[in-house]
Chains A and B, each alone.
Chain A
Amino acid sequence: MNANADRLEHLFSRVLDGAASRDERDLLDTLLRDEAVRARFEAYAALDEAVGSALRADLDRAAAPVVSRRLGWRIRRAPAVGVAACIATLIWLYPPPPATPDHERPQQAGSWFAPVEPPHDAVEMLPATFERPQARFRGTERHWIIVPGDEPGQFMIVEVDRVRTEVTGLHEDY
């Protein structure tokens, strides 16, 4: 690179970086009247802009999924709390009937292909010795436990940060 070209690139660089003085900007304006210099400056500026936007996009792209996941959790959280509160209210207002003996229970419909499965979210009443909690959810996917408070209409919501584990049976089929 010759000295003139080197000086010209310094000038381009200073103008693009916002470091040029008024005199330097005026000098560049004068030089840009030359078509060759103008084409060179435009190419220089275009490459610089392309590099800048590529770098910003690359760094933003890594951060984006994290932000959206967090946002998604915040969005899902409010309806989850609402649904949980509704279920708790229903349980409070309409407690489950006392357990009936097996022989008095009506026959449940089912077939070989679609056997009746026990309800997944079974509500279990705890012995009377426990003052609280009076009701809880079992076998649930929810991360919330709703516990009725001392007063009717009062509930406590317990957030459970649960690590789910699964038991897998091992069979020696061979």
Chain B
Amino acid sequence: MIGRLVALAQRGDRRAADRLVREHDGWVRSAIYAVIGRPDLVDDVAQQVWLRVWERLDTLQSPARLRPWLYTIARHTALDVGASHGRRSGRTTSLENVSAVDERSERHPAQAASRREQREVLLAAVQALPADYREPLVLRHLQDWSYAEIAQVLNVSVETVETRLVRGRALLRELLQDRVSS
């Protein structure tokens, strides 16, 4: 099925290309976010990823390997953009986004502020994880993928994914404990 879709897209079928984007854009965005950690840059990077995909689609020999191939492009593009913009180390967000969130929870501003602060601490801890642990963890949460699906995209074994998730969670807990104690 996916092989036929890729073959059609490679031959220039516009509908197949559209479908390919629609079916894969969601997880590609999650992958970009997992790498770059900047939601404000995800749209821009996703556009660049799809441009690169169309430029290189002919080089994809095995359509069954579409997902890992897309992930590699998404990862490299995100890293390129991350290098120029700086991966998020300290948490930043636009005022527009903050006000949109605040409007929803205006009735209890203190609670909302506390929740936002808590979320910022959690996100900062996730961003502080090494890429090997952060990427499967983010994909697991955002895409609800199985270990096998994550393993296929990351091009590692299922056991490796499982170990990285367990270690990532343990490391996350340690990071949060350090922050709380400091």
Contacts and interface: CB of A to CB of B under 8 A. Distances in A.
A59 B162 contact: no
A7 to B, nearest CB: 10
| B-side interface mostly | helix
A48 interface: yes
Nearest to B125: A51
Contacts of B122: 50-51, 54
B165 to A, nearest CB: 6
Contact of A58 (B39, B100, B173): B39
Nearest to B91: A58
Interface in A75-121: none
Contact of B100 (A50, A54, A64): A64
Contacts, number: 76
A40 B43 CA distance: 39
| A-side interface mostly | helix
A9 B166 CA distance: 7
B118 interface: yes
Interface of B: 29-30, 33, 39-40, 42-43, 93, 96-97, 100-101, 118-119, 122-123, 126, 137-138, 140-142, 146-147, 162, 165-166, 169-170, 172-173, 176
Interface of A: 1, 6, 9-10, 13-14, 17-19, 44, 47-48, 50-52, 54-59, 61-66
List the 9 shortest-distance A-B pairs measured between CB atoms, nearest first: A62-B39, A52-B141, A54-B122, A54-B119, A13-B166, A55-B141, A61-B97, A59-B39, A59-B33
